[in-house]
Amino acid sequence: MSEPSAAVLQQLRQLLGDDGVRVQPDAVLPDVVLRPQSTEQVSAILRICSAAGQALVPLGGKTGMANGHFQTAGEIGLSLERMNAIEEIDPDNRTMTVQAGCILQVAVEAAEELGLLLPLDFGARGSATLGGIVATNAGGNRVIRYGMLRDMVLGLEVVLADGTVVTSLNKMLKNNTGYDIKQWFIGAEGTLGVITRVVLRLRPTPSSQNTALLAVDDFPSVIKLLHSLDASTAGTLSAFEVMWPDFYEFITRAGSLHTPPLPHGSAYYVLVETLGSDPGRDAERFETVLGQAMEEGLIADAVLTRSQSERNAIWEIRDDVLELFKLGPIIPFDISVTLDKMESFISDIRTGMDALKEPVCVIFGHLGDSNLHVILGARNAAEFDYKALEHLLYETVERYQGSVSAEHGVGLAKREQLHRSRSAAELQLMMAMKKMLDPNNILNPNKIFAAEKIAAA
Amino acid sequence: MSEPSAAVLQQLRQLLGDDGVRVQPDAVLPDVVLRPQSTEQVSAILRICSAAGQALVPLGGKTGMANGHFQTAGEIGLSLERMNAIEEIDPDNRTMTVQAGCILQVAVEAAEELGLLLPLDFGARGSATLGGIVATNAGGNRVIRYGMLRDMVLGLEVVLADGTVVTSLNKMLKNNTGYDIKQWFIGAEGTLGVITRVVLRLRPTPSSQNTALLAVDDFPSVIKLLHSLDASTAGTLSAFEVMWPDFYEFITRAGSLHTPPLPHGSAYYVLVETLGSDPGRDAERFETVLGQAMEEGLIADAVLTRSQSERNAIWEIRDDVLELFKLGPIIPFDISVTLDKMESFISDIRTGMDALKEPVCVIFGHLGDSNLHVILGARNAAEFDYKALEHLLYETVERYQGSVSAEHGVGLAKREQLHRSRSAAELQLMMAMKKMLDPNNILNPNKIFAAEKIAAA
């Protein structure tokens, strides 16, 4: 695609003012970004671009891992950065209405001030925006307790490709009046419409938090432990994060920033956490259920945190993913596999990696959600083969009927892998939806599906 | 529409055998019902009917409250009654795969046998089928804890109007591979596709249950109590059912089958329940938090149940909706209104009812979900005016920006009210979806939208 036409840019500048169109003339990558201030301006932008067949890339915090926010030649960015207001926090109905450009952390803190919890949490909280988070159906560390982003959205406002504004700012938990339109746009990565406002469900703030790091001897015990803790901590289990020894031992190796709370040498390390409402009783209960699991032989060793700093120290180990880049060139993969197949899946990946001279294969994940992060690479850059590693990983995911994207979406990065997790009939149906809602393919084109595939569908 | 053509019936009989086509020749209502035994047969039926433009009404347990299962002249029923197998219960992944015709109670009991919970529960559990339940996005008594049906579905198999089978039997909690197709069909009342199989998420079975009936003096205290209990029973609050005195006092009146656990004369009666994992501690905690709420003045009086029979006695009061028909001719309405507007909404309804000589206006609901059941009628049949009552109720719902259907769907019964809760843009978008997936309008036509509206859209 060629550069945006001067005529289109002229119309957009007239609409938005000089402040509303950011152009970086010297950029290597094309960089025209629109900065509307209202839903009406978003609608007008889409009418102009729709008429001109001008492609747009909706932009949030640009923290996505699947490159869904990449602008390629000829595409104009549509940033929601100036639509970042928290429009309302409603303590009676425990909802929050925000504009799409609102940053997650800002929203979380505003809810906190009223004693309410927006239970979404992940590393990019300081830059990710609610619009982008809804568009990618973000997950994170507390899915086992509170669900994916989809489970937190009550209402949406979306602008369609032709400029139609669909305002559906529902605040009620139960609302069965026809098709649940918002579901179409959640997780659609900006390819079906531009999200401009979101109504989020808020929860009561927990008043107790109990965290432990556990050592477990074998994978069947990990599964049993998950089920046992989920049952015995009724409704309060908020994290069940598993680190394989290659992860735990590297992050806490001698000379690293971390002191290992449990000695090296175990088969699995599990970070568990509950969020409750009764500090005294919850702590006692947490100890009791872990003690029982130990008696049953499910846990080989355990450290319970006694302070916020001890808790932070354990979470910092789990979250220190960047440290892995010291291993050499690596690719972090985000996939799902069902629990019954997980051990065998990992064994096949490791066997595949054995062919390399100095392979890197490091695994951790949100096990309660079937979600693994698999890090593959090579200590020696000369041995690193992106295509081969990608093929090994995704081909194995396909064989195990897993998901090539658990929580990061498809974007550009996984477009060519989508067929491994979705049938031809499913892909056909998705493309029909895309064609219906965006017949000129101007909304984040080439994301999820290549334009030529949609055209041929 | 005229009767199904002899040629079409002939083709269907050839496909399904005599056993597969049930015809009741003497019925006042048309009654041709197909009884396929496999997804392949459903697909073949749809290919035949699609080619012939023959309308079909998918049939589950026929327990829906919005007449979504009504067959009108010329329409053929498509019953999933012979596709009722539980195909798999997977204890590792805690999922259950069932055919659409499987009855809810059968599925619940099969899960129970493996120590797992399918947390959906409502009155029609003995006849409602999973296919129908998914198609209507059913709610029930535990939505505050476990969500609507939508939150329990991991995967679906759907047959489209043209016979295409879309198999999407996902079992993973996190799966962001493109558009989440199953969401399109959940709650679509059989108008977009025929659901043939469902993967459900199962939960650990709770081991404690604590139930109380509370008297509350005013509505702001009801809201405060809901929020306070939700916070202090972290993740275990499973019911918050409010009965207005007109409901409670009639159901437990002298001469009724029920003994009132709390005396008449209070402003509100609230049934609360928690489902936990530690019988001893949970009971103690339940008493403590209710005691605190009493000290804070939120609760005026309380009865805690000490046995299963006491618990049943309280639930039987809440569930004895049929008793209300003794008041005279009535209409039960299922609507949502946000909590902040609820008191004023009800006051307006009561004022509207004052015009009648002997009005019936009885209210109860799942307050934690914004869901009210409003029963309007007249003691004297001569004063009963269906249209006027319906108008009063729905016009008031519209003024308060509520939902004309909380958990029962739209079907035929609420089709003409849909515009009160959905904007023109939303309706337009829904009809575009219908046209895309069912261009000949053969799937449950006239449900949710009148055929002529779709044609004109």
Interface check B418 vs A, CB under 8 A: yes
With vertex at residue B444, the alpha carbon angle to CA B119 and CA B366, rounded to the nearest 5 degrees, is: 30
Could you tell me the sign of the dihedral formed by the alpha carbons of B156, B157, B162, B164, in that order?
A: positive
Are the beta carbons of A143 and B173 separated by less than 8 Å? yes
For the cut 60, the answer to whether the pLDDT of residue B1 exceeds it is no
pLDDT of residue A2: 63
Contact B172 A366 (CB under 8 A): no
Classify residue B103 by its DSSP letter: B
Q: Shortest CB distance from A426 goes to which of B166, B410, B425?
A: B166
pTM of the model: 0.97
Residue A413 has a pLDDT of 92
List Cβ neighbours of A142 (8 Å cut-off, separation of 6 or more). Answer: A119, A120, A121, A238, A239, A275
Q: Is the pLDDT of residue B365 over 70?
A: yes
CA distances in angstroms from A427 to A456, B178, B197, listed in the order given: 12, 8, 19
pLDDT tens digits, one per residue of B168-222:
999 999 999 999 999 999 999 999 999 999 999 999 999 999 999 999 999 999 9
Nearest 5°: the CA angle A50, A56, A58 is 125
The answer to whether B337 contacts A172, with C-beta atoms less than 8 Å apart, is yes
Euclidean distance between CA atoms A53 and A56, whole angstroms = 9
In chain B, residues with a C-beta closer than 8 Å to the C-beta of A368 are 173
**CA atoms of A292 and A289, how far apart (whole Å):** 5
> Is the pLDDT confidence value at A290 over 60?
yes
Q: What count of CB pairs under 8 Å joins A to B?
A: 275
What is the distance in angstroms between the Cα of A344 and the nearest Cα belonging to chain B? 14
pLDDT of A111 > 60? The answer is yes
pLDDT at B121: 87
The verdict on B184 touching A (C-beta cutoff 8 Å) is yes
Chain B residue numbers with beta carbons less than 8 Å from the beta carbon of A407 are 174, 176
Partners of A421 on chain B (C-beta within 8 Å) are 175, 177
Shortest alpha-carbon distance between residue B79 and chain A (Å): 22
Q: How confident is the model at residue B457 (pLDDT cuts 50, 70, 90)?
A: confident
Beta strands per DSSP E along B81-184: 86-90, 95-99, 116-117, 153-159, 165-168
Look over chain B and give the mean of its residue pLDDT values, rounded to a whole number: 95
| Angle at CA of residue A216, ends A211 and A222, nearest 5° | 85
User: B455: which 2 tokens?
Assistant: 């044609």
**B187 contacts in chain A (CB < 8 Å):** 176, 179-180
Indicate the residue type of B188: A
Q: Looking at the predicted structure, is the pLDDT value of residue B29 above 90?
A: no
Q: Is the pLDDT of residue A330 over 60?
A: yes
Helix, strand, or coil here: A395? helix
Query: Does residue A164 have a pLDDT over 70?
Result: yes
> What is the ipTM score, two decimals?
0.96
Tell me if A272 sits within 8 A of A214, measured CB to CB: yes
Question: A8-46: per-residue pLDDT in tens?
Answer: 999 999 999 999 999 877 666 658 999 999 999 999 999
At B2 the pLDDT is: 64
- Write the residue in B176, B183, B230 that is nearest to A204 by C-beta: B230
SS3 of residue B257 by DSSP: coil
> What is the rounded distance in angstroms from the CA atom of residue B331 to the CA atom of residue B324?
10
Q: Which two tokens stand for residue B155?
A: 């995967």
Q: How confident is the model at residue A3 (pLDDT cuts 50, 70, 90)?
A: confident
Nearest to B176 among A137, A432, A433 (CB): A137
pLDDT reported for residue A185: 98
Dihedral sign, CA of B442, B443, B448, B454? Answer: negative
- pLDDT band of residue A234 (cuts 50, 70, 90) is confident
**A179 Cβ under 8 Å from any chain B Cβ:** yes
CA separation for the pair B286, B269 (Å, rounded): 18
**Cα of A430 to nearest chain B Cα, Å:** 6
Q: Which residues of B touch A146 (CB under 8 A)?
A: none
The two tokens of residue A169 are 């700012």
pLDDT of residue A91: 95
Per the CB < 8 A criterion, the answer to whether B229 and B210 are in contact is no
What percentage of chain B exceeds 90 in pLDDT? 90
Q: What are the residue ranges of helices labelled H in A271-385?
A: 279-295, 308-319, 339-353
Which pLDDT belongs to residue A12?
97
Q: Are strands A32-34 and A76-79 parallel, antiparallel or unpaired?
A: parallel
Residues contacting B307, CB < 8 A, separation 6+: none
Q: Which of A160, A178, A409 minimises the CB distance to B448?
A: A178
Name which of B173, B363, B335 is nearest A230 in CA terms: B173
As a whole number of Å, the end-to-end CA separation of chain B is 21
- DSSP state, A299? -
Query: A286: which chain B residues are within 8 Å (Cβ-Cβ)?
Result: none
Written as six digits, the tokens of A343 are: 């051990």
Contacts of A128 (CB under 8 A, 6+ apart): A60, A61, A63, A103, A104, A122, A138
Rg (CA), chain B: 23
pLDDT mean across residues, chain A:
95
The pLDDT, as a whole number, for residue A59 is: 95
pLDDT score of A123 = 85
Q: A38 and chain B: CB distance < 8 Å anywhere?
A: no
pLDDT digits (tens, 9 = 90+) for A139-158: 888 999 999 999 999 999 99
- Phi–psi pair at B137, nearest 5 degrees: 45, 60
Chain B CA closest to residue A238? B235
Q: What is the mean pLDDT of residues B327-332?
A: 95
pLDDT at position A1 over 60:
no
In sequence order, the 6+-apart residues with CB closer than 8 A to the CB of A321 are A123, A332, A373
Question: What pLDDT, on the 0 to 100 scale, is given for residue B394?
Answer: 98
